[in-house]
Amino acid sequence: MSPSSPLTPTRPTKSIWIADQTAQGTSAVLNDEMLGNEPHWFDHSRDILCMVDTFRLSMTKPIIGIGHSMGASQLVAAAHFHPGLLDALVMVDPPIFMTRSPSTKAMLRYCFRKPEAYAPRQAAEEATRRSPFFKTWDKQVLQRFLETVWGDGPTVTVPDDNSTKPTTPLHMQVRGLIKPNPDHITVAQPVDEDQRYTHPDIQPTAPVTWPFYSPHSQVAYRFLSTLRPPALFLLGEGSQLCDAEELVDRTNATGTAPGGSGGITAGRVKSVTIPGGHFLPMTNVAGTAEGTSRWLAEQIGQCQKREEAFKQRWEVKSLAEKQRLDGRVQEQLKNWDGRPSVKPNQVEALIRGRLRGLCRSAVRLLTAIHDPSRFTFHGNRDRY
């Protein structure tokens, strides 16, 4: 990026923090003998919060969350658990949807076509380079991938110490995509107590089931409406991860509920589509970087202005003033008459609602007078 580029950041990036989730990459190697068989996406979201808390002195504001695929969903959950954590969020082709992803079958098939181990390491690297899946990857990205994806030591699932295997075990790759449902729970009969214990997040009213499901995608979708930080959806035009109509609904819903950013109308949510498929950071590095930088340049400046304005108002207060209620607030609460403040455009609707309530009460009263058998009194008859 040249010094004169409009994408040049207004302030330098102080640090970049990346953490492999428990069952993937280096973390999977460290946790090999402690891994279970049911990883949950949002376990990593909580780990992110722990990481920030542990290294909080080294992680100064603004904090920007950038996640691809599952990682984007995990950042959405982290922002849900701690709404003020992130100053902006970039979601690169996130698997956040309420329906089934058309690409899941292809991803599962790819996982099971790979051997669990190779011998020697050269065979593993050659097989990776020959794979059509990696043909579209940026050369530098692929080289970095090859340097970090393989391990040579024995593991619980592949104890052979003379073979090369992925640092993320094959079965953990699959379990990271889906949660198995081989018995097709909810199809034949209602969910029983044992099934509710093992599959608490399954949709009991679903009209159909598959041999697997992805509860995390739907939960993340529900989190979007209250998403606090400004959010960018950076999508690949060739991605088949999500239905096109649902993409629009998803973007329109983000940040619109109480507690959210205000959404598109407030200028806090945007969706951008660039050439490429689901694996944008690996195949279209420049496009991903440019799309992210342009949007962050808009948002971070606004974020800094808001932070500075608040900081100026806050720092002039004494310690006692920071802890006490504002004088204006105290007076307002002391003199409050107990009535709500009604929006001007809601007065007429409020009156109509009250009148409808009075009419219903009058009808019930007349019915009770003329035909007591049709009316059930609660408590003392004389009180009515």
Please compute the mean of the pLDDT values over residues 238-259 and round it to a whole number.
94
Cis amide prior to 95 (ω within 30 degrees): no
Whether residue 145 is predicted with pLDDT greater than 60 in this model: the reply is yes
Q: What are the residue ranges of helices labelled H in the chain?
A: 25-30, 41-54, 70-81, 104-113, 121-130, 132-135, 139-148, 170-177, 193-198, 215-224, 244-253, 280-283, 285-315, 319-323, 327-334, 347-370
Give the tokens for residue 376: 């059930």
Q: pLDDT by residue (tens digit) across 173-203?
A: 998 888 888 888 876 677 888 888 888 888 7
**What's residue 4's pLDDT?**
38
Whether residue 314 is predicted with pLDDT greater than 80 in this model: the reply is yes
Domain ranges of the chain: 25-116+169-178+214-306, 345-383
222 vs 194, higher pLDDT: 222
Share of the chain above pLDDT 70, in %: 91
Q: How far apart are CA 187 and CA 210, in angstroms?
A: 10
**What's residue 162's pLDDT?**
85
Q: pLDDT by residue (tens digit) across 15-65?
A: 999 989 999 999 999 999 999 888 899 999 999 999 999 999 999 888 999
Segment holding 274, helix H or strand E: strand 269-274
**What's residue 380's pLDDT?**
46
Whether residue 7 is predicted with pLDDT greater than 90 in this model: the reply is no
Q: Which of 82, 164, 76, 81 is nearest to 119 (CA)?
A: 164
Number of H helices, E strands in the chain: 16, 8
Question: For all residues of the chain together, what is the average pLDDT?
Answer: 87
Which pLDDT band, with edges at 50, 70 and 90, does 379 fall under?
A: very low
DSSP 65: E
Whether residue 374 is predicted with pLDDT greater than 60 in this model: the reply is no
Lowest pLDDT segment from 174-183, 275-284, 353-362: 353-362
Whether residue 96 is predicted with pLDDT greater than 80 in this model: the reply is yes
Cis amide prior to 62 (ω within 30 degrees): yes
Whether residue 10 is predicted with pLDDT greater than 80 in this model: the reply is no
**What's residue 334's pLDDT?**
94
Which pLDDT band, with edges at 50, 70 and 90, does 354 fall under?
A: confident
**What's residue 383's pLDDT?**
39
Q: pLDDT by residue (tens digit) across 82-94?
A: 999 999 999 999 9
Which pLDDT band, with edges at 50, 70 and 90, does 371 fall under?
A: low
Q: How far apart are CA 212 and CA 178, in angstroms?
A: 6
Share of the chain above pLDDT 90, in %: 58
Please compute the mean of the pLDDT values over residues 123-137 and round it to a whole number.
93
- Residue 16: strand, helix, or coil: coil
Residue type, position 208, single letter:
V
- Select the CATH number that applies to the domain covering 25-116+169-178+214-306 from these four: 3.40.50.1820, 3.30.2020.30, 3.30.70.20, 3.40.50.1980: 3.40.50.1820
